[in-house]
Amino acid sequence: MNGRLPSREDDLLAELLASVGPAPAPADGDASADESIDTRSVILRLVDDHADLDGCRADLSALCRKLEVAGVVRTSYAAGWKRLPGSDPIDSSHSALLAGVLLATATRHLQAREERDRGAALKALNAAFKCLDLIASPEDPAIQKLTTRAEALLDQITVSSAQ
Q: What distance in Å separates the CA atoms of residue 62 and residue 2, rounded to the nearest whole number?
A: 22
Q: Is 28 domain-assigned?
A: no
The structural domain count of the chain equals: 1
Q: Is 122 domain-assigned?
A: yes
Q: Is 2 domain-assigned?
A: no
Q: Is 26 domain-assigned?
A: no
Q: Is 1 domain-assigned?
A: no
Q: What distance in Å separates the CA atoms of residue 117 and residue 112, rounded to the nearest whole number?
A: 6
Containing H/E element for 48?
helix 39-49
Q: Is 62 domain-assigned?
A: yes
Q: Which residue range is the domain that position 151 belongs to? A: 7-19+33-162
Q: Provide the pLDDT for residue 12.
A: 80
Q: pTM for the complete prediction? A: 0.84
For 127-155, what is each residue's pLDDT tens digit? Answer: 999 999 988 787 888 899 999 999 999 99
Q: Is 92 domain-assigned?
A: yes
Find out whether 64 and 124 touch, Cβ atoms under 8 Å.
yes
Q: Provide the pLDDT for residue 84.
A: 93
Return averaged pLDDT per consecutive 10 residues of the chain, 163 residues in all: 55 80 56 75 85 79 95 95 94 93 89 78 94 86 91 86 61
